[in-house]
C-alpha cells in the first residue's frame, strides 16, 4: 500500500477498525477454539459474515476474495492475527507421514509441474504428513522428467506424459487422474504452495460426519508469506514468531477444497477444458453448490512465496475473460451432464484434448 493512501486511511482504521481487532484478538489464541468473537469474526467494514446453526465458523456474504484492509494500514495486525490463528490451529511439518494399516479415509491430491516450485510443494506435503490423522498424499506430476526421487518418501505418485498432449498446464486433468487413483473416500484438492493446519483432515471428517454436505471449504484466512519468511520457514521447518504476512486474504475459491469421492464423480470432476492458469477452481467451486457445499470457514492456511504468475488474474487472460464466463453461464445440471459424459481422469490424455482457450469463440 502506498504511503499516501496509508496516511489517508489511518484515522478511520484507528477509530473504527483497531477496536474491533483488539476485541477479536482478545478472544483468540490457544484455548479459544475459534470463538465466534475471535479472529474468524474479522472482515472489512463494508462486508458481512453469517453463521449457521450447529456449524462452526462463518460464511462470507460477498462474491469475491478480499484482503483485510486494516492489516495493510497497520501491518503489525497481520502478525498478531497470524499468530492468534496459529495458536488455535497450528501448522506443523513432518519429514515422514503417519502410517496407516487400513485404507486411508482422506487423500490429499496435488497437481504439479517443473522444479521452480518444488521446494514449496515439499514443504506443503510435510504439512500434510503432520496431520493428526493418517492421510494419503498423492502427487500427479506433469514435469518433463519424473520428479519422484526429489519428493518426500511416503507419497503416492503418478507421472503424466504430455508427449501426445498439447503443451500447457493441465491442472484439471491432473486432479481428475488423482481422483481416479486416490484411495480415500474424502478427496482434498490442495495447491502445492498452501500449507495446511495440522487438524485440517480431522475437521473435514467431523464436517462430513454431519451428513449435511458433500463438499467443504473450511478456510477462513489465507496468510501470504514474504520471500524472506518463506526462506526462513524452509530453513527452519517452522513459522517464526516474528513472521509478518504480506497479506491476509479471505473468501477465496481455490487453493484447497474437499469433496467426497461419490460427489466428485456425480458432478463430473474438474473441467479438463481449462488449460493454463485460471478459472478451473472457480468453475468447480460453483458446481459444488449442486451437492451441498459447506462454506463456513474457521481455519487458517499459509501461502508460501514464489514468483507471481503474471497473467493468472489479468483481464487479458482468456480463461478469466472469456472461458470462465461462458462455462459459468451454463446452468449446473447441463454442465454436470456434459462433464459426466466425458472420459475424465484418463491418464493417457485430457478430454477434451484441445482446451477451450484454443478453440474459436462461438458466434
Q: Say if 49 falls within a structural domain.
A: yes
Residues 149 and 283 in one domain: yes
Chunked into runs of 10 residues, the chain (363 residues) has average pLDDT values of 87 96 94 88 97 90 96 96 97 95 95 96 98 98 97 98 94 98 98 98 96 96 98 96 97 96 98 95 96 96 90 74 95 97 98 88 45
Q: Say if 240 falls within a structural domain.
A: yes
Residues 14 and 47 in one domain: yes
Specify the pLDDT at position 3. 83
Residues 37 and 129 in one domain: no
Asked if residues 287 and 188 have their Cβ atoms less than 8 Å apart, the reply is: no
Specify the pLDDT at position 256. 98
Specify the pLDDT at position 363. 36
Q: Say if 100 falls within a structural domain.
A: no
Specify the pLDDT at position 274. 97
Q: Say if 153 falls within a structural domain.
A: yes
- Alpha carbons within 13 angstroms on the beta-carbon side of residue 244 total 6
Specify the pLDDT at position 100. 86
Residues 54 and 36 in one domain: yes
Residues 326 and 195 in one domain: yes
- Distance set, CA 324 to CA 23, 83, 219 (Å): 40, 36, 23
Asked if residues 43 and 250 have their Cβ atoms less than 8 Å apart, the reply is: yes
**CATH code for position 319:** 3.90.550.10
Q: Say if 305 falls within a structural domain.
A: no
Q: Say if 362 falls within a structural domain.
A: no
Residues 164 and 285 in one domain: yes
Rounded CA-CA distance 49/221 in Å is 13
Q: Say if 101 falls within a structural domain.
A: no
pTM for this model (two decimals): 0.95
Q: Say if 98 falls within a structural domain.
A: no
Range of the domain at 59: 1-89+218-252
Total number of domains constituting the chain: 2
Residues 34 and 147 in one domain: no
Residues 6 and 64 in one domain: yes
Asked if residues 229 and 139 have their Cβ atoms less than 8 Å apart, the reply is: no
Residues 210 and 277 in one domain: yes
Residues 85 and 152 in one domain: no
The SS3 assignment for 220 reads strand
Residues 209 and 222 in one domain: no
B/e letters for 240-275, b = 16+ CB within 10 Å, e = fewer, are: eeebbbbbbbbbbbbbbbbbbbebbebbbbbbbbbb
The sheet carrying 136-141 orders its strands as 156-159, 136-141, 106-112, 186-190, 256-260, 215-216, 293-294
Residue 186, all three cell numbers: 474424502
Residues 69 and 27 in one domain: yes
**pLDDT tens, 196-213?**
999 999 999 999 998 999
Rounded CA-CA distance 1/61 in Å is 25
Specify the pLDDT at position 313. 55
Amino acid at each position: 500500500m502506498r504511503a499516501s493512501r496509508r496516511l489517508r486511511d489511518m484515522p478511520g482504521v484507528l477509530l473504527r477498525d483497531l477496536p474491533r481487532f483488539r476485541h477479536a484478538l482478545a478472544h483468540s489464541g490457544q484455548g479459544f477454539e475459534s470463538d465466534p468473537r475471535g479472529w474468524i469474526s474479522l472482515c472489512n467494514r463494508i462486508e458481512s459474515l453469517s453463521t449457521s446453526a450447529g456449524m462452526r465458523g462463518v460464511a462470507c456474504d460477498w462474491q469475491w476474495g478480499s484482503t483485510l484492509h486494516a492489516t495493510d494500514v497497520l501491518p503489525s495486525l497481520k502478525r498478531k492475527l497470524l499468530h492468534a490463528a496459529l495458536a488455535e490451529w497450528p501448522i506443523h511439518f513432518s519429514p515422514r507421514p503417519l502410517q496407516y494399516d487400513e485404507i486411508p479415509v482422506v487423500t490429499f491430491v496435488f497437481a504439479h509441474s517443473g522444479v521452480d516450485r518444488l521446494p514449496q510443494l515439499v514443504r506443503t506435503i510435510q504439512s500434510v504428513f503432520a496431520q493428526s490423522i493418517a492421510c494419503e498424499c498423492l502427487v500427479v506430476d506433469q514435469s518433463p522428467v519424473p520428479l519422484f526421487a526429489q519428493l518426500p518418501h511416503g507419497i503416492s505418485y503418478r507421472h503424466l506424459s504430455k508427449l501426445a498432449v498439447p503443451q500447457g498446464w493441465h491442472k484439471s486433468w491432473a486432479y481428475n487422474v488423482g481422483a481416479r487413483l486416490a484411495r480415500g473416500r474424502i478427496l482434498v484438492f490442495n495447491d502445492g504452495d498452501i500449507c495446511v493446519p495440522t487438524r485440517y483432515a480431522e475437521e473435514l471428517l467431523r464436517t462430513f460426519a454431519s451428513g449435511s454436505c458433500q463438499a467443504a471449504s473450511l478456510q477462513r484466512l489465507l496468510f501470504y508469506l514474504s520471500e524472506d519468511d518463506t526462506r526462513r520457514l524452509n530453513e527452519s521447518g517452522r513459522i517464526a514468531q516474528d513472521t509478518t504476512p504480506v497479506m491476509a486474504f479471505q473468501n477465496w475459491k481455490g487453493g484447497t477444497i474437499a469433496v467426497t469421492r461419490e460427489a466428485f464423480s456425480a458432478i463430473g470432476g474438474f473441467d479438463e477444458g481449462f488449460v493454463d492458469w485460471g478459472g478451473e477452481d472457480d468453475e468447480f467451486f460453483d458446481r459444488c453448490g449442486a451437492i451441498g457445499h459447506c462454506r463456513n470457514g474457521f481455519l487458517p492456511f499459509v501461502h508460501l512465496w514464489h514468483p507471481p504468475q503474471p497473467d493468472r488474474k489479468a483481464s487479458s487472460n482468456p480463461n478469466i475473460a472469456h472461458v470462465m464466463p461462458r462455462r459459468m453461464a451454463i446452468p449446473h445440471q447441463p454442465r454436470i451432464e456434459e462433464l459426466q459424459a466425458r472420459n475424465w481422469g484418463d491418464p493417457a490424455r485430457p478430454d477434451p484434448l484441445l482446451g477451450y482457450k484454443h478453440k474459436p469463440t462461438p458466434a
